[in-house]
């Protein structure tokens, strides 16, 4: 039987480790502070923000949600970001994506001070990642690294294939794997013979946003499969294609009207991989955990800026 890489367990380990760091900051500096800007009332974004705020409350991090109208202009949103940049009680700023069409997302993200960029998206922090220097890291790929390390899966010398080249997951994922001494190939929509490339991977990371797209032909026997995708299936025919012969899953679909699936066919992961992340319960829980790691790390940097020692 393959090993199921439990993201919930890793998340709980990370949160437990953060509590002592937060307590020390509170004793010697102040409570770490995170501001989340949610534009409009997109249901999915609202859920994400609510979960982030809830995690802050659990850990004792000060959190503040700012909720401007969906009609906001770029200049108005830039003014909000600038006001947060100036606040000494806010260590991290997160602008929830996606933003409305009329807003220039790049200008907004670039306006966040690098030392408050809790998502690790600022060009300066991307540059720090590229040279292996300390700084906030993109949360989802950073979570993948934690899953691998905490399950004692060696990346050194491994052939790793990343399917997807987004700025949020694919590109930083490749860079982080390189820093772990993996040999990395990045695939995308124009990769020739995707199955052949993927089937060479010791570690296969799927981040393409296409439900159950990768299957047996893409997975080498014994590979470690990390499924970053989260796709909601609401079509019965699609559910039958993905969970063919799995009566229990199809019964769940009938009861709920939908099911979550990653970018890799779950049956293929179970039959070919030596270890894999389930969906849900794999990579997903780590994204918010690593956001908290970034927020606490930025607060520690701010404390050091004021000459406060946290390491004695």
DSSP string, 237-304: HHHHHHTTT-HHHHHHHHHHS-EEE-SB-HHHHHHH-SEE--TTTSSHHHHHHHHHHHHHHHHHHHHH
Q: What pLDDT, on the 0 to 100 scale, is given for residue 43?
A: 84
Neighbours of 5 (CB within 10 A): 25
User: Is the pLDDT score of 312 beyond 70?
Assistant: no
pLDDT exceeds cutoff 80 at 244: yes
- Rounded mean pLDDT of 206-234? 96
What number is the average pLDDT over the span 3-29? 97
Average pLDDT over residues 33-46: 92
Q: ∠ at Cα 197 (194, 202), nearest 5°?
A: 130
* CATH number listed for the domain at residues 139-286: 3.40.50.720
Task: List the catalytic residues.
Answer: 52, 96, 119
CA 1 – CA 8 distance, rounded (Å): 20
Tell me the pLDDT tens digit for each residue of 150-203: 999 999 999 999 999 999 999 999 999 999 999 999 999 999 999 999 999 999
139-286 shares the fold of 28-114 = yes
Determine the pLDDT at residue 44.
82
CATH fold of 28-114 reads Rossmann fold (3.40.50)
- φ/ψ of residue 232, rounded to 5: -95, 125
Domain boundaries, the chain: 28-114, 139-286
Using CA atoms, how far apart are residues 257 and 147, in angstroms rounded to an integer?
A: 31
Query: Is this model's pTM higher than 0.85 or not?
Result: yes
Query: Residue 59: its pLDDT value, please?
Result: 98
What's the token pair of residue 258?
């939908």
């Amino acid at each position: 039987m393959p090993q199921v890489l439990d993201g919930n367990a890793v998340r709980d380990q990370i949160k437990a480790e953060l509590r002592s760091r937060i307590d020390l900051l509170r004793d010697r500096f102040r409570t770490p502070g995170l501001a989340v800007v949610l534009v409009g009332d997109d249901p999915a974004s609202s859920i994400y923000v609510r979960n982030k705020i809830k995690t802050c409350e659990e850990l004792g991090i000060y959190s503040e949600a700012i909720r401007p109208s969906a009609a906001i202009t770029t200049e108005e949103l830039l003014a909000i970001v600038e006001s947060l940049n100036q606040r000494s009680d806010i260590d991290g700023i997160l602008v929830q994506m996606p933003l409305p069409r009329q807003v220039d997302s790049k200008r907004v993200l670039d306006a966040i001070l690098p030392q408050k960029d809790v998502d690790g998206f600022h060009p300066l922090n991307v540059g720090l990642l590229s040279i292996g220097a300390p700084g906030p890291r993109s949360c989802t790929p950073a979570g993948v690294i934690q899953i691998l390390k905490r399950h004692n899966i060696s990346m050194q010398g491994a052939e790793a294939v990343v399917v997807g080249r987004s700025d949020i997951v694919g590109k930083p994922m490749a860079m982080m794997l390189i820093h772990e001494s993996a040999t990395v190939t990045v695939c995308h929509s124009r990769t020739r013979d995707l199955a052949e490339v993927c089937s060479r991977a010791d570690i296969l990371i799927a981040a393409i946003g296409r439900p159950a797209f990768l299957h047996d032909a893409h997975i080498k026997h014994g590979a470690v499969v990390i499924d970053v995708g989260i796709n909601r299936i609401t079509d019965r025919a699609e559910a039958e294609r993905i969970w063919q012969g799995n009566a229990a899953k199809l019964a769940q679909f009938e009861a709920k009207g939908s099911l979550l699936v990653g970018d890799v066919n779950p049956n293929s992961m179970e039959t070919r991989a030596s270890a894999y992340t389930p969906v849900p319960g794999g990579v997903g829980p780590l994204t918010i955990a690593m956001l908290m790691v970034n927020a606490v790390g930025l607060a520690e940097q701010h404390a050091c800026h004021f000459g406060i020692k946290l390491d004695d």
